[in-house]
């Protein structure tokens, strides 16, 4: 048998039909659904008299447009459009008989945090969701990617997707990370190097010692942003850490099924002489704590650098960089550590897990946020929130002056009332710094949870290595 990559293996195990031109029907093992990209798909099913083919493989949770403030079990405490979307998901879940975690359920949270937490996401699976950050689930050695609403409808109706195979891109992070450097710094550094379109047409496999050393949480952070590099998916080969994380989860297999599953999962790695269409290698020791300065996730620099000038770039990027600098209100040559911020957002499917909250709380222990700073922590799920409360992290955040919110996407995309006002500048642990992403005219700097926590205290972008 010819050598295969991990992606090749999972792909081959899911082809339900292949046409002569290579167009395949890829079988979908898990379909995750949320309130913003699904109403039109369910409506489409109703209009054509179709049903959900595999409701037992379909899991729904409201997250994008829910308030993260207390009292949200009562729709009266939601904005009108939130209430409409959440009510639509409630009734669609009931009508079509799919698994559902309503806002009142402690297991509710960001769909990409809930899937792994509940054991829906397992190695070797195909996982899709009408959300681009579905790539997160690749951390388990699952082939996971975002789809549009028409494709959501297609998966609901047929449990398959029409797909052509992508190319294989290997991103290897060799050696060990230096102190203060996190999974977020890895993933941002990769995008800084390859660009936001660098991964277009590829599925990325992240590998190398620094990736192996990451916890499952860290691996999810890395895969989460594969889409920001343009890739269809990011994936990491499963290992003992992965199995350990999955074991005992509510929907993970048990008994003989578990043993059979693990036996198969252990075959899921790229063969030594597998073919790669592109390879990117980065030494872990060259990765510094980074922040973004512009309005594209590729606008990444080490925190020790200065704000760049448009002239530092080439081609279409010159104009784009100038536009970014204007939008961000930054002057070339300013040290990044002199940039003052007024808002801090810790949360999102990139960095809203327990380990992220621990890292931020570690920085904040016994400290207070700067006067006038607006800072919030939005845990990724109700269970993360409960665990953080049990570990005493919530108290650290609250004593430092952070708001302690309920789970949801919140200020990551600012559909709910958690938004930046024009000109406000935010240190965010989320994944997109686009113009207006966190509110019209709002300015976003992406970074790790520890860096965001440090910035909350100093009021400026801060090198976490210098922070004490």
For other proteins, the closer CB: 370 or 437? 437
Q: How far apart are CA 457 and CA 364, in angstroms?
A: 8
- Rule CB under 8 A: which of 375-394 touch other proteins? none
Considering only the stretches 35-43, 100-108, 344-352, 397-405, report the one whose residues sit in contact with other proteins under the rule CB under 8 A. 35-43
We find the least distance from the C-beta atom of residue 439 to other proteins, in angstroms, to be 10
**d(Cα 281, Cα 299) in Å, to the nearest integer?**
19
Q: Please count the residues of the chain.
A: 468
| Total chain residues near ligand SF4 (CB under 6 A) | 13
> Given the complex with ligand SF4, which of 168 and 430 has the nearer CB atom?
430
Of 126, 292, 343, 348, the one binding ligand SF4 by CB under 6 A: 348
Distances (CA, A) of 464 to 222, 298, 303, 456: 20, 21, 9, 12
User: Which two tokens mark 119?
Assistant: 């054991």
* Sole window of 53-61, 254-262, 270-278, 406-414 interacting with ligand SF4 (rule: CB under 6 A): 406-414
The encoded tokens of residue 460 equal: 């400026």
Nearer to other proteins, 64 or 219 (CB): 64
| Distance in Å, CB of 156 to ligand SF4, minimum | 19
Q: Please list every residue from 123 through 182 that binds ligand SF4, using CB under 6 A.
A: 131, 133
246 is in an annotated binding site: no
**What is the rounded CA–CA span in Å between residue 378 and residue 430?**
11
> How far apart are CB 184 and ligand SF4 at their closest, in Å?
13
For residues 156-215, which are near other proteins according to CB under 8 A? 157-160, 162, 164, 196-197, 200-201
330 contact, one of other proteins, ligand SF4, none, CB 5-8 Å limit per kind: none
Half-sphere exposure of 119 (CA within 13 A, CB side): 13
* CA separation for the pair 30, 194 (Å, rounded): 30
Max Cα separation, the chain?
A: 65
Site string for ligand SF4, 56-95 (x = CB under 6 A): -------xx-------------------------------
Gyration radius from the chain CA atoms? 21
Q: What does 279 bind: other proteins, ligand SF4, none (CB cut-off 5 to 8 Å by kind)? A: none
Taking the least distance from each CB to other proteins, the nearer of 146 and 347 is 146
- The Cα–Cα gap between 228 and 36 comes to 20
Give the whole-angstrom CA distance, residue 56 versus residue 97.
8
Torsion of CA 302, 306, 309, 313, to 10 degrees: -20
Residue 311 binds other proteins (CB under 8 A): no
- CA dist 3 and 464 (Å) reads 43
Side by side, which strands form the sheet with 58-60? 99-100, 58-60, 30-33, 126-129, 143-146
46 binds other proteins (CB under 8 A): no
Residues of span 412-441 touching other proteins by CB under 8 A:
413-415, 422, 432, 434-437, 440
Tell me the window of 203-211, 252-260, 409-417, 445-453 that interacts with ligand SF4 (CB under 6 A).
409-417
> How far is it, in rounded angstroms, from Cα 298 to Cα 44?
37
Residue pair 282/173 in contact (Cβ under 8 Å)? The answer is: yes
Q: Choose the one of ligand SF4, other proteins, none that binds residue 5, judging by a C-beta under 5 to 8 angstroms depending on kind.
A: none
The answer on whether 409 is annotated among ligand-binding residues is yes
Number of continuous H segments (helices) and E segments (strands) in the chain: 16, 19
Is residue 24 marked as binding? no
* Residue 17 sits in the site that holds other proteins (CB under 8 A): yes
Binder of residue 164, out of ligand SF4, other proteins, none (CB less than 5 to 8 A by kind)? other proteins
Shortest separation between residue 104's beta carbon and other proteins, angstroms: 21
Is residue 125 a contact point for other proteins (CB under 8 A)? yes
- Per CB under 6 A, 412 contacts ligand SF4: yes
Rounded CA gap, 305 and 307, in Å? Answer: 7
CA–CA separation, 143 and 62 (whole Å): 23
Options 4, 6, 11, 29; binder of other proteins; rule CB under 8 A: 29
- In the complex, least distance from residue 385 CB atom to ligand SF4, rounded to whole angstroms: 15
The CA distance from 392 to 399, in Å, is 11
Q: According to the binding rule CB under 8 A, does residue 104 interact with other proteins? A: no
Contact 128, 146 (CB under 8 A): yes
Give the number of other CB atoms < 10 A from CB of residue 14.
20
**What are all long-range contacts of 256-260, with beta carbons under 8 Å and residues at least 24 apart?**
none
Give, as ranges, the residues between 414 and 443 that touch ligand SF4 (CB under 6 A).
430-431
Q: Which DSSP letter does residue 345 get?
A: E
Kindly write out the interface string for residues 292-321 of this chain, putting x where it contacts ligand SF4 by CB under 6 A and - elsewhere: ------------------------------
Binding-site residue ranges for [4Fe-4S] cluster: 349, 409, 412
Residues binding ligand SF4 (CB under 6 A): 63-64, 110, 112, 131, 133, 348-349, 409, 412-413, 430-431
């Amino acid at each position: 048998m010819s050598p295969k990559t991990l992606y090749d293996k999972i792909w081959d195990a899911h082809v339900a039909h292949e046409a002569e031109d290579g167009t395949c029907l890829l079988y979908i093992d898990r379909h995750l659904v949320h309130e913003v990209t699904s109403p039109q798909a369910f409506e489409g099913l109703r209009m054509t008299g179709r049903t959900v083919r595999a409701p037992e493989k379909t899991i729904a949770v409201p997250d994008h447009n829910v308030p993260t403030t207390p009292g949200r079990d009562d729709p009266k405490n939601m904005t009108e459009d939130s209430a409409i979307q959440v009510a639509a998901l409630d009734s669609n879940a009931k009508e079509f008989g799919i698994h559902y975690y309503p806002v009142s359920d402690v297991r509710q949270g960001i769909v990409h945090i809930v899937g792994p937490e509940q054991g829906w996401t397992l190695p070797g699976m195909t996982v899709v969701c009408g959300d681009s950050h579905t790539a997160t689930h690749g951390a388990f050695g699952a082939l996971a990617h975002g789809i549009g609403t028409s494709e959501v409808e297609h998966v609901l109706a047929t449990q398959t997707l029409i797909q052509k195979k992508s190319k294989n891109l290997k991103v290897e992070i060799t050696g060990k990370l230096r102190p203060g450097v996190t999974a977020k710094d890895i993933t941002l550094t990769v995008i800084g190097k390859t660009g936001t379109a660098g991964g277009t047409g590829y599925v990325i496999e992240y590998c190398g010692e620094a990736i192996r050393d990451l916890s499952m949480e860290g691996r999810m952070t890395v895969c989460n942003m594969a889409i920001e590099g343009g890739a269809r998916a990011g994936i990491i080969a499963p290992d003992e850490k992965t199995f350990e994380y999955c074991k005992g989860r509510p929907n993970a297999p048990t008994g003989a099924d578990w043993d059979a599953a693990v036996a198969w999962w252990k075959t899921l790695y790229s063969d030594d002489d597998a073919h790669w269409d592109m390879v990117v290698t980065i030494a872990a020791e060259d990765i510094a704590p980074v922040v973004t300065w512009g309005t594209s996730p590729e606008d990444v620099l080490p925190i020790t650098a200065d704000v760049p000038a448009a002239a530092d770039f080439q081609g279409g990027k010159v104009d784009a960089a100038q536009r970014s600098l204007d939008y961000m209100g930054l002057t070339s040559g300013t040290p990044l550590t002199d940039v003052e911020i007024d808002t801090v957002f810790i949360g999102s499917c990139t960095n809203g897990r327990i380990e992220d909250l621990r890292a931020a709380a570690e920085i904040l222990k016994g400290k207070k946020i700067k006067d006038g700073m607006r800072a919030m922590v939005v845990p990724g799920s109700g269970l993360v929130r409960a665990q953080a409360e049990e570990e005493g992290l919530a108290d650290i955040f609250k004593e430092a002056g952070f708001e302690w919110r309920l789970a949801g996407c919140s200020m990551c995309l600012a559909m709910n009332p958690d938004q930046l006002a024009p000109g406000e500048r935010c240190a965010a642990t989320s994944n997109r710094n686009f113009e207006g992403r966190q509110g019209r005219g709002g300015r976003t700097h992406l970074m790790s949870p520890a860096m965001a926590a440090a910035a909350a205290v100093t009021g400026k972008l801060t090198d976490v290595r210098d922070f004490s």
